[in-house]
């Protein structure tokens, strides 16, 4: 059965059985033959009023031989999982600019339609993550060369991304649970971060107006109010210089300027998540939309992001048996960030929960022991987590 299978069995038989999501029945498989109502109620996903477990494993179909898909999914079900999650890679599916293959006509692994149909045949739910950005150790983090030079709020990028978003949505929309399919959750983009240090000119960090100044105008309205807060004497908001270094926090006005830099990063990320979520909704995505984040809070304001999507999922990679690696207590940090996740999301969910590690990092991480998985899982349960996605469940 394996360690994850035994953990699933434990949860199925636990005295906590009646808690939301996987407590209800981790193996409950529902057949949907017509349009269904998919809602978040009471901290769980419900389909036609019945809870569906958010307990899944990441399976990247395009990195696996299609001849093995069925066998792999059978093994997934044997582990006690009723849901799989996958990215959909823009850079891979667009074999020529403006031409997409979702049926495996150019390469068998591009057969997204076949993979989703197989999941439906095998009564597996699907959590879909079509980017545009997916990261996932892929070229350009999953976007084509022509889109990579632009930040995600630029018109150039959004104009480039929209044909992909429309094309992939045309494939996914008929397969949503709301249309009788198996897709129950939808993640736009991935771990949103605009990497402002790569786009300093566009951000307004190098002496010319940019997005930073748009933020200041929205926050202060007038240069007089900005000067009052910062203790400056600018004649226009466009003159404001970004401050993000520690020496500037030694006085109240300098501290205000530094805090405004971090508020800008939060504003930027939330604005970008909202654009992606709204765009997919306008294209017809009507299952719950979530976004994944990493802990820390410097770039992402999780509470603000939670207002523009339906729920959040945290990504956690605790390492083998919570080895400290500089933390006074890595396990304590793990527990606290999961308790925090409960406070910012209507579903206490881990979007990426360490399961092995992707090729390339394995030499650094070493082999994760069965005992480590037990400790991770039962600690997450103790912290109040009610669902997670094993990443990566299946190797690449």
* Structure token digits, residue 255: 């501290």
Nearest C-alpha neighbor of 52 from the set 7, 20, 74: 20
Report yes or no: 90 and 143 within 8 Å, Cβ to Cβ. yes
Predicted TM-score of the model (pTM): 0.89
pLDDT tens digits, the chain, 396 residues: what are they? 454 555 555 444 443 333 443 433 444 445 554 678 999 998 899 999 999 989 999 999 999 999 999 999 999 999 999 999 999 999 999 999 999 999 999 999 999 999 999 999 999 999 999 999 999 999 999 999 999 999 999 999 999 999 999 999 999 999 999 999 999 999 999 999 999 999 999 999 998 999 999 999 999 999 999 999 999 999 999 999 998 766 555 677 788 998 999 999 999 999 999 999 999 999 999 999 999 998 887 889 999 999 999 999 999 998 888 876 666 688 998 999 999 999 999 999 999 999 877 666 667 777 888 999 999 999 999 999 999 999 989 988
Tokens representing 252 are: 């109240």
The answer to whether 318 touches 309, Cβ cutoff 8 Å, is no
Cβ-proximal residues to 119 (8 Å cutoff; 6+ apart), any chain: 73, 84, 125, 126, 182
Which bin fits 317, alpha (ψ -120 to 50), beta or left (φ > 0)? beta
Residues in the chain: 396
In the chain, alpha helices (H):
2-13, 22-25, 69-78, 90-93, 112-121, 155-172, 200-203, 211-220, 223-230, 252-282, 302-305, 330-344, 362-365, 370-382
In CATH, the number for domain 2-193+269-391 is 3.20.20.80
CA distances from 2 to 8, 150, 258, 305 (A): 10, 44, 50, 36
Nearest Cα to Cα of residue 85 among 26, 129, 33: 129
The residue extents of the domains of the chain are 2-193+269-391
């Amino acid at each position: 059965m394996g360690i994850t299978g035994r953990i699933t069995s434990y949860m199925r038989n636990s005295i906590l059985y009646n808690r939301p999501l996987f407590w209800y029945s981790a193996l409950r498989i529902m057949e949907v033959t017509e349009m269904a109502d998919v809602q978040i109620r009471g901290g769980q996903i419900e389909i036609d009023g019945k809870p569906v477990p958010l307990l899944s494993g990441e399976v990247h179909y395009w990195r696996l031989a299609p001849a093995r898909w069925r066998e792999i999914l059978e093994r997934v079900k044997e582990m006690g999982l009723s849901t799989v999650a996958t990215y959909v890679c823009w850079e891979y599916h667009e074999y020529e600019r403006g031409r997409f293959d979702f049926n495996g006509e150019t390469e068998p692994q591009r057969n997204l339609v076949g993979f989703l149909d197989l999941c439906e045949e095998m009564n597996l739910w699907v959590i879909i993550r079509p980017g545009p950005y997916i990261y996932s150790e892929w070229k350009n983090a999953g976007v084509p060369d022509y889109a990579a030079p632009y930040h995600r709020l630029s018109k150039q990028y959004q104009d480039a991304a929209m044909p992909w978003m429309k094309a992939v949505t045309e494939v996914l929309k008929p397969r949503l649970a709301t249309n009788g399919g198996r897709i129950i959750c939808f993640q736009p983009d991935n771990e949103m971060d605009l990497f402002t240090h790569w786009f300093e000119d566009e951000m307004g960090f190098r002496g010319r107006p940019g997005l930073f100044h748009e933020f200041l105008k929205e926050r202060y309205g007038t240069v007089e109010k900005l000067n009052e807060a910062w203790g400056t004497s600018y004649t226009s908001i466009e003159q404001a210089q970004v401050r993000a270094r520690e020496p500037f926090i030694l006085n109240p006005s300098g501290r205000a300027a530094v805090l405004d830099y971090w508020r800008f990063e939060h504003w930027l990320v939330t604005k970008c998540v909202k654009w992606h979520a709204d765009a997919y909704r306008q294209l017809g995505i009507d299952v719950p939309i979530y976004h994944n984040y990493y802990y820390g809070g410097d770039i992402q304001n999780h509470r603000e992001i939670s207002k523009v999507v339906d729920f959040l999922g945290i990504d956690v990679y605790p390492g083998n048996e919570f080895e400290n690696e500089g933390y006074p207590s890595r396990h304590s940090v793990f527990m606290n960030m999961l308790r925090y996740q409960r406070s910012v999301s209507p579903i206490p969910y881990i979007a990426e929960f360490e399961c092995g590690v992707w090729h390339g990092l394995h030499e650094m991480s070493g082999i994760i022991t069965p005992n480590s998985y037990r400790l991770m899982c039962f600690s997450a349960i103790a912290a109040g987590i009610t669902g997670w996605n094993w990443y990566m469940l299946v190797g690449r």
